[in-house]
Chains A and B, each alone.
Chain A
Amino acid sequence: MELIKTLEELCNIGGISGDESAAAEYIISKIDGKCEWRLDPLGNVLAFKKGANKAPHKLMLSAHMDEVGMIVTYINSDGSLCFDTVGGIDIRILYGKRVFVGSGRIPGVIGAKALHLLSDSEKESCSLSDMTIDIGCRNADDALKLVSLGDSVVFDSQFTIFGNNRICSKAIDDRAGCAVMLALMDMPLKYDMQFAFVTQEEVGLRGAQAAAYSADPEFAIVLESTTASDIPCCADEKRVCSLGGGPVISYMDRRTIYDKELYAKAFETAKELGIPAQTKTLIAGGNDAGAISVSRGGVRTIALSLPCRYLHSPSCVIDIADLENTLKLTKKFAERIMEL
């Protein structure tokens, strides 16, 4: 299916925050000739697609192109690489993962001291300073032939469809939002709409801040991926949302209190379409809505998020039905906003 294929291609692109150009190029290759677009100074792709009717309201849809990853901070004399995380990665998921370093995609592994040689206190701690990236070089000079300080590091992760209609991949946050926007742009639209593929979400909602200023919308829909913790050993009240429960419509998260009328309208629209929808059961996380909603004199903003397990890891898991329902809801809900 086209939506899944686009998502796979998007997820396989390396693009940590501040280094999104490969993702942007892919997106441009998909929309060029179908709409007006431009690349702004922060690397945001700002597109405008005409609909059958002139838009009664200026509406912007937004999704971020960047993914969490790592960055090379030092090259040790033995040829191993020190690194830091870019975006909120749980460092406990790093040891033993395969990575690609830099634009040359040099393969490496994240190493640490062998289990059997750890002291009792080392066994109970986990810190970035305990880990290095091993690219199989014998010394710093050899390593410098392959990599440089500041090189981006992304997970080596296979896009996999598994179980009952589930997808496992890196970077679903938020290439899924980008895939939904690309799918919408391929459909005939009832009204004119603006689409912002933005950068640097994971390091402080920065691309969206500039994009919202430029687009100057009255309304915004942020398409995101949000933590689903519907797994064993997690109490019901902390599960946030569930896979298969449909798009997540939030009333509040750590960055935004959402527009009440839009919140109610989104649920009404889901009901009208006969698709499931859910809200977050925990005030957690945050997304570009935090920057967009306070742009200029204020923007009425809602976020439609895809429930995603193991967010910010090389193995994010989503449900395909949730992805399809997010696309359906977004399309209809955008029209409902125009009719407000």
Chain B
Amino acid sequence: MNTADIEKTLAMLCAADGVSGAEDGISRLLSEYLADSGDTASDAKGNVICRLGGFDESKKTLLLCAHIDEIGFIVNYITDDGFLKVSPCGGIDRRVLPASRVTVLADGGKNRIKGVFTSVPPHLQSKAHSPAPIDELFVDIGLDGTHSKKAVNLGDRALIEAPLMRIGSLVSSKALDNRICAAALLETADLLNGKQTAYNVVLLFSAGEEVGSFGAKTAGYSIGADISIAVDVTFGKSHSESEKQTGALGSGAMIGISPVLSRTLSQTLMNIAKTEKIPYGIEVMPQRTGTDADALSVVKGGSIAATVSLPIRYMHTPVETADISDIENTAKLLAAFAERGGV
């Protein structure tokens, strides 16, 4: 795909609904999109699994995993005057909530109900200089109690809609975590189309990462890969962060080093990046990685694992911001590894 096509694909992926545990929208979209790319199936958890090319028993299996769930909300109470109390699905940044528009996905998303997060006016607040506590925030859908309770069911998901838009040389959207990595895997599949690979390559688009990686645990078990790479987002430097804690947008993927990852695999990825002149960075994580790699590395009898991470700004907000070139460079790296192997 050229850069414009990648941006179009990314916009389509970001627009799909997929709050953790209710990934049907994005799952269906990917199943259709991948139908011609390989043997594609989705499972009961909402995972989409695509095997590229044929299966060769003599080869090891390489699993490339990107989660497809996004952070959002779940309705857990409706007040008598019709306001919805919602709880976060995943680690939403509560600072962005007051006065944000919300869409409630009633009836599994068939009925999209518009609403807005309440905000208590500052002159009625004693602590106007700290973020509003989440238990003070409700969703106003403009309906009284009776109509609200008829339109919405407890357990319905909700999300803040924000379609992909270009800002300067970057793009901003909801759900760039982790649709940007799903886009990188689609581009990897494109690059590998018709190529000989060193491994049996399986793409896993996993559900439920933001609420404990249940998709990676279960699909990882079904696939039973020898080598697993979790492709996820990491912190990109914006004006407010130190460069010690973040990666720069536009300088390629960050290859992870962590006690739970394979140093050999990480080093192999770096060597390939160097040889192929693909820009990359190194992300050092002193503990677990907080990605699907933590689960994938310990399924069945274990798998060697790595993380390849794309930097985004403003993580877990509706204005996550990224550089498209990082998708292209990530796909080049993953495709080169799948072709050349080395572990």
Residues on A lying within 8 angstroms of B by beta carbon are: 76, 78-80, 88, 90, 92-93, 95-98, 107-117, 123-127, 130-132, 134-138, 142, 146, 158, 160, 162-166, 168, 227, 229-234, 238, 284-285, 309-315, 317
Contact = CB atoms under 8 A, between A and B. Distances in A.
A166 B167 CA distance: 31
Contacts of A116: 91, 235, 315-316
B311 to A, nearest CB: 10
B238 A113 contact: yes
B122 A114 contact: no
Contacts of A168: 101, 114, 116, 142
Given A112-B240, A168-B101, A92 B128 contact: yes
A136 to B, nearest CB: 2
Contacts of B143: 163-164
29 contacts: A78-B239, A90-B119, A92-B95, A92-B131, A93-B99, A95-B317, A96-B319, A97-B319, A98-B162, A98-B165, A98-B172, A112-B240, A114-B238, A114-B241, A115-B95, A117-B235, A117-B241, A132-B239, A134-B313, A137-B168, A163-B141, A232-B85, A233-B120, A233-B135, A234-B124, A285-B123, A309-B118, A314-B99, A317-B140
Contacts of A311: 121
A127 B240 CA distance: 13
Given A116-B235, A166-B142, A90 B122 contact: yes
Contacts of A136: 166-170, 172, 321
Contact of A162 (B96, B114, B128, B315): B114
B124 A92 contact: no
Contacts of B316: 114-116
B238 A127 contact: no
A98 B141 CA distance: 21
Contacts of B124: 229, 234, 238, 284
B238 A111 contact: yes
A285 B123 CA distance: 9
Between A134, A229, A230, A311, the greatest number of chain B beta carbons within 10 A of the residue's beta carbon is seen for: A134
A309 B140 contact: yes
Given A111-B239, A116-B235, A313-B98, A162 B142 contact: yes
A123 B172 CA distance: 24
Given A110-B319, A134-B313, A233-B120, A146 B141 contact: no
Interface in B93-117: 93, 95-96, 98-101, 113-117
Interface in B237-254: 238-241, 245-246
Given A163-B142, A313-B119, A115 B315 contact: yes
B73 interface: no
Contacts of B239: 76, 78, 80, 111, 132, 134
8 closest A-B pairs by beta carbon, nearest first, are: A163-B142, A136-B168, A96-B96, A166-B142, A313-B99, A136-B167, A136-B170, A109-B319
Given A92-B98, A109-B172, A232 B314 contact: no
Given A90-B121, A96-B96, A138 B169 contact: yes
B256 interface: no
Contacts of A238: 124
